[in-house]
Copies of this chain bind each other. A is one copy, B any other.
Amino acid sequence: MEVQISSSTKSFAGKQLICNFESKELGSKTSFSVYLPPTLDESKEKFPVVFWLSGLTCTEKNFIEKSGFQRFAAQHKLIVVGPDTSPKEIKELPYQGFKGLAPPDIISAWSHLCTYTPPPTQLPGGLNIEGEDDSWDFGSGAGFYVDATADRWKKYRIMGGHGALICALKNPGLYKTVSAFAPIANPINCPWGQKAFSGYFGENNKEEWKNWDATELVKNYNGPPIEILVDQGKSDQFLEQGQLLPDNFVRACVAAKVPIVYRLQDGYDHSYYFIATFIADHFAHHAKQLKA
């Protein structure tokens, strides 16, 4: 598979790349971002990788333009990969193509509706799937990180897990550390999740739903110890609407003795201003876990 670097921009002495490739599985072009920290070229050590999974309505650009993460990726010497998070191919990401890129060591993600997004015309899409653009919170603009079983969406079964939490919980030992901003923590019990899972799995297949729900999965987690960091804005409109349900997840973590640091941040909403404020803490968390 051929990967093209469509742009390379110097950032905090490293490089912010945007790459794209033709996905055979999807029959469509898809993009991802890669941040390469400084000294990577000269270094003989392998650098860990953070995968950042954006949320509803995001492309691969929101995070790299608005979070300010590069400052901390450079500081902690972390490679950061951010796929376009509409429901597309991730398994094909050829990370071995970049010198020094280690297997996935970290995953950091959040289920995030970007308050400051490009208009719908700029969203990914163009996959020519019936209904892909019917709705802003399902289809081409909305990745739920599930392996869809419904016929129409079957091609999208590649992204592992429902965001970062699901990736870590379903693949014990694969990721060394995980964190999330304002995740949809219990999708089977919220309107967004129910809509998405009805579409991706079928309305009556509710046992399958549980295999893609962080709160359900953590109940049975028995992999290596992981410490989960979750930041949640207290003034997040989607928290208020009952779309996120972090309390359910925290309760399940406590019952399952999975350590979680849950920080309810007073006055913050669901925007990138919230992400940018606390992104330094998430990178410090990952750097610390990697050294542990």
> Are A118 and B116 in touch, CB under 8 angstroms?
no
Q: A11-37 vs B: 1/0 string, CB under 8 Å?
A: 111001000000000000000000000
For residues 20 through 68 of chain A, which have their beta carbon under 8 Å from a beta carbon of chain B? 61, 65-66, 68
CB-nearest residue of chain B relative to A66? B65
State the number of copies, please: 2
A16 — which chain B residues lie within 8 A by C-beta? 273
Collect the chain B residues with CB atoms within 8 Å of residue A131's CB.
none
Q: Which of A118, A119, A267, A273 has the most CB of B within 10 A?
A: A273
CA distance A277 to B16 in the complex (A): 12
B contact residues around A75 at 8 Å (CB): none
In the complex the two chains form, what is the Cα distance from A276 to B9 in whole Å?
A: 12
- Alpha-carbon distance between A284 and B70 when the two chains are bound, in angstroms: 19
What's the nearest-Cβ distance from chain B to residue A120, in Å? Answer: 12
Residue numbers in B under 8 Å from A118 (CB-CB): 118
On whether the beta carbons of B68 and A9 are closer than 8 Å, the reply is: no
A116 CA / B61 CA spacing, docked (Å): 10
Query: A65 contacts B9, CB within 8 Å?
Result: no
> By CB atoms of chain B within 10 A, which of A61, A122, A269 has the most?
A269
CB distance from A18 to the nearest CB of B (A): 11
- The answer to the question of A200 belonging to the interface, with a C-beta cut-off of 8 Å to chain B, is no
B61 in contact with A273 (CB, 8 Å)? no
Bound CA–CA A65/B64 (angstroms):
11
A273's partner among B11, B122, B271, B274 (CB-CB below 8 A) is B11
A267 to chain B, nearest CB (A): 4
| A155 beta carbon closer than 8 Å to chain B | no
Per a CB cutoff under 8 Å, which of B65, B68, B268 touches A116?
B65
A279 nearest CB neighbor, chain B only:
B68
**Which residues of chain A in 155-188 are interfacial with respect to chain B, using CB atoms and an 8 Å cutoff?**
none
Contact A269 B10 (CB under 8 A): yes
- Complex interface bits, A261-292 against B, C-beta within 8 A gives 1, otherwise 0: 00000011101111011000000000000000
Give A64's nearest chain B residue, CB to CB. Answer: B273
Given contacts A118-B118, A122-B119, contact A11 B65 (CB under 8 A): no
A235 to B68 CA separation, bound complex (whole angstroms): 21
**A219 within 8 Å of B by Cβ?**
no
Given contacts A16-B273, A65-B272, A118-B118, 9 further A-B contacts (CB under 8 A): A9-B269, A9-B273, A10-B233, A10-B268, A10-B274, A10-B277, A11-B274, A11-B277, A68-B71
